[in-house]
């Protein structure tokens, strides 16, 4: 009798294990690649489409500005650094991804050069290694005091207004960017871009 019960318990355990395996397999998502430039309407929140739209319009506005044209005339390529982007909105926004995308477009335009202030400590460490470790050929050390300083700082902020009722939600995003002349303290250029979206659903509640 005990042997029979043991066989039944073993069979039940095997069936449960099989069922759990099938359940686990059925929960696995199906992954497919999509066009990264396609319009993202998955959610009303800040999306990749918003990032691309803001960057494209902001860079176009900056590069076509008459005042920017003056400082880039005759083949001049002003040196800029990113001073930061303040997110004052209620959205989760990767501000570094936004400024990286902007600096990439500006560099590719051939009108500007950038210095990366986020890597200053790493550069200092490399200087110290080359000059103090005794492991680098002295004739091939990178000389200190030869870096080129930035003349302009690019920075900005993001704000938002988010409203909703029982069946509709709206999101307004405003991104402002400024290009500051470090030497004079004057703002050479300032641009602003807005994103406005509305989501409507049937029924009540979100």
DSSP 97-156: HHHHHHHHHHHHTTS-EE--GGGHHHHHHHHHHHHHSS-S-GGGPPPTT-PPPPSEEEEE
Q: What is the pLDDT along the chain (206 residues), one digit of tens a residue?
A: 555 555 556 556 566 555 555 555 557 889 888 888 888 888 889 999 999 999 999 999 999 999 999 999 999 999 999 999 999 999 999 999 999 999 999 999 999 999 998 888 999 999 999 999 999 999 999 988 888 999 999 999 999 999 888 788 999 999 999 999 999 999 999 999 999 999 997 755 55
pTM over 0.85: no
pLDDT (0 to 100) of residue 44 = 87
pLDDT (0 to 100) of residue 14 = 62
Domain map (residue ranges) of the chain: 44-115+150-200, 119-146
C-alpha distance from residue 49 to each of 37, 43, 54, 197 (Å):
7, 11, 9, 12
pLDDT (0 to 100) of residue 37 = 80
pLDDT (0 to 100) of residue 173 = 96
CATH architecture of 44-115+150-200: 3-Layer(aba) Sandwich (3.40)
Q: How many CB atoms lie within 10 A of CB 57?
A: 16
- Measured distance CA(204)–CA(206) in Å, rounded: 7
């Amino acid at each position: 009798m005990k042997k029979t019960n043991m066989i039944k318990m073993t069979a039940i355990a095997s069936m449960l294990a099989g069922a759990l395996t099938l359940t686990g397999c059925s929960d696995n998502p199906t992954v497919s690649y999509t066009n990264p430039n396609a319009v993202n309407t998955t959610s009303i929140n800040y999306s990749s489409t918003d990032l691309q739209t803001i960057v494209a319009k902001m860079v176009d506005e900056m590069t076509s500005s008459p005042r920017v044209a003056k400082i880039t005339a005759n083949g001049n390529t002003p040196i800029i650094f990113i001073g930061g982007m303040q997110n004052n909105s209620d959205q989760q926004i990767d501000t570094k991804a936004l400024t990286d995308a902007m600096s990439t477009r500006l560099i590719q335009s051939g009108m500007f050069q950038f210095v990366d202030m986020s890597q200053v400590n790493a550069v200092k460490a490399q200087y110290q290694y080359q000059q103090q470790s005794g492991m680098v050929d002295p004739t091939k050390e990178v000389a200190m005091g030869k870096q080129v300083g930035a003349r302009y700082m690019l920075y900005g902020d993001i704000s938002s207004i988010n409203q909703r009722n029982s069946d509709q939600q709206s999101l307004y995003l405003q991104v402002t960017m400024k290009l500051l002349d470090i030497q004079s303290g004057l703002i050479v250029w300032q641009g602003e871009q807005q994103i406005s979206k509305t989501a409507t659903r049937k029924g009540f509640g979100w």
